[in-house]
A and B are shown apart, each in its own frame.
Chain A
């Protein structure tokens, strides 16, 4: 999941995770920032480096787990698996890791990607959902392997960088879903990010998602124009008109943004509804997963990375 901050990447990750679990897949959601709210709708607070089960779907046997990956923890694990367990703690404590990653900052991104790749290769789950850093940083994050592969000709960093590149460049293993809100700036950013990702990272783009689309309300427009035909004197009348204009304006703006996205990028586009609430609980997440299922049935067959035999 990638997109500008605040467009609902994390919520979308949880929605897809829930939908996938309901359909019987063993799903793992991964967060990278260290303080995401991925588990919140399921009543789980901070995520840990090991995975926690968020949801189990008895009827299908599918489930959703979540965990975090931080570069420091990934490094300790990597060193441990290369026979350097004893020094790994010391390297962290005495600041060596800090110095190395200051000298070559992309190393932190590569460590996180390397861990994701290891999870994918070991068959840890049927589907791994990664909550990427916000747009600008998602690009630097996904560009790190190419940057580091180009700057070293041998050694473990190059191996790791090439491994991560192989994952990113194989559309059967990895796709990026871009998310936006139906507003000018997030849509601009989605389009820019899409071009940069295709050109500079060579990663396959999956369906785009337009989050927070205001649902239409039958009759609202007609009722508003009837109200506006005469003078509006009462307080409640003014509030009714104001609220109706507020919603109609958003609906018209999102139509424009939806058309722009479809015109600019030849990718399937999914719409998820705006929910009139400040918090996403399991109830809202279920509504979103239902909406996602509906949207998916309207799409042509997208193909599956693991074709059932």
Chain B
């Protein structure tokens, strides 16, 4: 953890749902700030939990907000707003306000940014690039959506590049000027097939949308390539967050494999929400004791040991170091609780 905190420029928290990724990401950023980093934590989870986690009742926005506290560096927090991010890129990349206007008023754009899954993942990688390039920050910590969607996020830059490079996109969705009207037979065939599948008016919307993009796709492509580079960079560290139950452990194992397939190495496993260490024992409980205190302690000790065995086995299997964080007794919706988790992750020497 210490190495990650001092050397990384980007730390990505991956894991199944409900294991405390958001809180962990905030704790990592806080630990970074304590080590003098100018850290920003970005949540891309559409479930909007970072505001709760950092105790900001009036919410977080796309624009990072600085949090005050006793650390030598800086701590900022932001929440991905896909629409604002998309609009900002379009305004920055378009040739003139007319083009930006045409794109922003397209029906497909409207629901791309408001209701459809997939867009979040694209915009998250865009936002990661923004924050990484932003001179205010030297450490970006991102919280990702659960399992499969985290992988979508990691794949999205490459996917966009593949999309823009795909023959179908080049010939049908966004033919270069001068080529339109002389679409080859294969292109026409593809349009007819797609029309049968998706309906011709939706296809018209799609084509109009990408036509409005004329000249901008190269900008998008370049940005996506930069994002993909960041994700592959040695200065980007991946942390696998899980909790001590067999389902999230399975999901973590699946994610570790998916990461290995992409040659993105996970540096550390963080296991959250463990039954507190003090309860592990061994305790000298009389087997025939019917006292509620003993019955309860025996139940919890058994659970606490099973949890540690499970995490240990996962660490051995993946050949990764593990870091254990006890379940918090105070509500995690406060910066104080996040500071306690940061303590457990990184016992920073005083000063």
Chain A residues with CB under 8 Å of chain B are 4-7, 10-11, 33-35, 37, 40, 79, 82, 84, 87, 91, 95-96, 98-109, 133-137, 139-141, 143-144, 146-148, 150-158, 181, 184-186, 188-189, 217-220, 223-224, 227, 235-236, 238-244, 246-247, 249, 276-280
Contact = CB atoms under 8 A, between A and B. Distances in A.
Nearest to B160: A102
A82 B247 CA distance: 38
B47 A6 contact: no
Contacts of B166: 95, 98-99
Contacts of B345: none
B247 A10 contact: yes
Interface string B135-170: 000000000011111000000000110110010110
B194 A243 contact: no
A106 B116 contact: yes
Interface stretch (B25-33, B95-103, B225-233, B238-246): B238-246
Most buried by B among A95, A108, A148, A239: A239
Contacts of A104: 108, 112, 116, 198, 202, 206
A107 B46 contact: no
B264 to A, nearest CB: 18
Contacts of A107: 198
Nearest to B258: A35
Contact of A5 (B18, B48, B202, B301): B18
Interface stretch (B62-70, B85-93, B278-286, B316-324): B278-286
Contacts of A103: 108, 163, 173, 206, 209-210
B70 to A, nearest CB: 25
A137 B303 contact: no
Contacts of B300: 243, 246-247, 276
B17 A150 contact: no
B248 interface: yes
B17 A134 contact: yes
Contacts, number: 237
A246 B293 CA distance: 11
17 contacts: A6-B248, A7-B18, A33-B147, A82-B196, A104-B116, A134-B145, A136-B145, A147-B115, A152-B201, A154-B200, A155-B195, A155-B199, A157-B202, A220-B296, A227-B293, A240-B293, A280-B246
B52 interface: yes
A137 B49 contact: no
Nearest to B253: A35
B202 A239 contact: no
A184 B333 contact: yes
Given A33-B148, A151-B202, A157-B202, A105 B112 contact: yes
A144 B115 contact: yes
A242 B279 contact: yes
* Interface bin, chain B: 35 or more
The 10 closest A-B pairs by CB, nearest first: A5-B17, A6-B18, A155-B199, A105-B118, A136-B46, A136-B47, A147-B115, A106-B116, A152-B202, A220-B292
A6 B194 contact: no
A246 B251 CA distance: 27
A115 to B, nearest CB: 15
B292 A218 contact: yes
Interface string B309-337: 01000000000000000000101110000
Nearest to B53: A185
Contacts of B302: 276
A106 B279 CA distance: 47
Nearest to B249: A278
Given A137-B149, A151-B107, A6 B162 contact: no
Contacts of A105: 112, 116-119
B111 interface: yes
Contact of A219 (B111, B162, B292, B301): B292
B340 interface: no
A223 B292 contact: yes
A98 B159 contact: yes
Given A157-B198, A236-B284, A239-B283, 5 more contacts: A96-B190, A104-B202, A139-B46, A240-B296, A242-B276
Given A185-B332, A242-B278, A279 B246 contact: yes
A152 B198 CA distance: 9
Contacts of A240: 293-294, 296-297
Most buried by A among B118, B300, B303: B118
Most buried by B among A7, A95, A184: A95
Contacts of B133: none
